[in-house]
Structure 1
Amino acid sequence: MILPTVLRAALLPLNRIAFRPEVHGVGNIPDHGPVILAANHLSFLDSFLIPLVTPRRVSFMAKQEYFDRGGAKQWVTRNFLTGIDAIPVPRGGFRAAQESLEIALRLLENGGVFGIHPEGSRSRDGRLYRGRTGVAWLAIASGAPVVPVALVGTERIQPVGARFPRPGKVVVHFGVPLRFTPPADGKQGPARRRAADEIMAAIAALSGQEVADEFNELSAG
C-alpha cells in the first residue's frame, strides 16, 4: 500500500510541471486543528489537486467501489486513493449520505482537514450551483472553520467526459475562514441553509463563476 507521504512526494513535481499551479491565500488555512475546505467542482481532478497545493493532509470522499478488490487497474486505483487519504463511503440514499458526514465529523474531531464539494457533483456548464447543507451540518457540529476554495482552469485540463487530463495552468484561491455556531433559536434547518449559502457566496467571489440559483442534479461525480 502506498503511503500518503510517499505518493505526495512523487506527485508534487509532476503537478508543478503539468499544471503549473498558481496558489493564492494558502496562509488562510490554519496550521493545526480541524478545518473544512469547501471547493467548487469543475473537474474530476479537483479533489486530487487540492491536497497537492495544501500544506496539510486533506481527506476527500471517494466511492466505496473504488476500494474494492479486483484486477490490476483496481489495485492501482485503490492504492492511489489510499495514498491521498481518500475516505471510502457508500453511495445512495439519505442513510449513506449521513454515514459519509459522520465519517468526516470524526476526522474533524481528531483535528484533521476535510475537503468537500458542496455542489455535490461537477458543474457541466461552468456555473456555480447552490450548495448542499451537508457542509453546514459539518461546520456547525464540529465547530471547524470553513475555508472557501476556488479552482480556476481545471475544467480545461480535464473536461467532463475526458478520459485523461492534459497539461495546462491551474489557479487555486483559498479564502478567509468562515465560522458557524449552533443557532440560538434551535432552528437547525434554516441555519444550515444560510451557512451553505454564505459558503457558496464566498466561493463565487473567489472563482468569478456565474451563479446558478438551483441545485446541480446531474450525477457527474
Structure 2
Amino acid sequence: MTATAGSPSPEGRGLRRSLGWLAALGVVLVLGGLLGLIYVGVATLTSMLLFGWLLLVGGLVGLLQAVQMRGSSFFWLGVVVAALNLAAGVVVIRHPTGTAAALTMFAALLFLTGGVFRLVGSVVVRGPQFGLTLVQGAFGILLGVLVLAEWPSSSLYVIGTFFSLALLFDGLGLLAMGLGGRRIVSLVEEPERDRLRPPPASPAPPKAAEEEQDQSHN
C-alpha cells in the first residue's frame, strides 16, 4: 500500500510509534533516576532486591537448562552454578543491607586498586594521555578513600547513587535516541512527500486571447 501525497507511509508511522515508545521509556528511566537520587536509601534497597530476584530467576533458568542437559558432561556444572545463584539470591533478598555493605566495600577496593594502577601506570609510561590517566587514577583513589572512610554507613547511599545515575544516563540516552530518530524520520519522509505531491495545474489562457480567437473565427 502506497501512502497518499502529504501523509506519512505506514512504515514511517510504525517507526515513529516505536521511537515514541522508546522516548517514553527514556522519560520513565529519567524520572526513576531522579527519584533515586532524592531517596538514595530506598534506591539502594530496591537495587539489592532487584539483584536478588535476578539471581533467583537466573538460578531457576540455569537449573531447568541443566535438567534438559542431563546425561551430558556439563550437567553437574550447571547444577552447581544454578544452586550458587539460588543461594546468593536468597541471601541478598533476606539481607539486603548486609549485601549492600559488602558490595560497597568491594566497589571501594576496586576504586582504590584501579586508581593506583592508573596512577602508577601514567607515571611510568608517560604516554600521550598522561594527564587524563593521572587525573583518573587520582579520582579513583580519592573516591575509594571517601567510601571506605564512611563505611559501613556509606553503603546506604553509594549503591543507590550508582544505580540512580545509571538509570538517569540510560534514560537520557533513550530519550535522545527516540526524539532524534523521530526527527530523522521526518527529514527522510519530507522529500518523499514532495515527490508524491501532484504537479500544479497549468494556468488557464487569458481572456483577451480567447476573445481574439473568437473574433478570428467569426
| TM-score, length basis structure 1 | 0.21
Task: Give the helix-richer structure, 1 or 2.
Answer: 2
Task: Give the strand-richer structure, 1 or 2.
Answer: 1
| TM-score, length basis structure 2 | 0.21
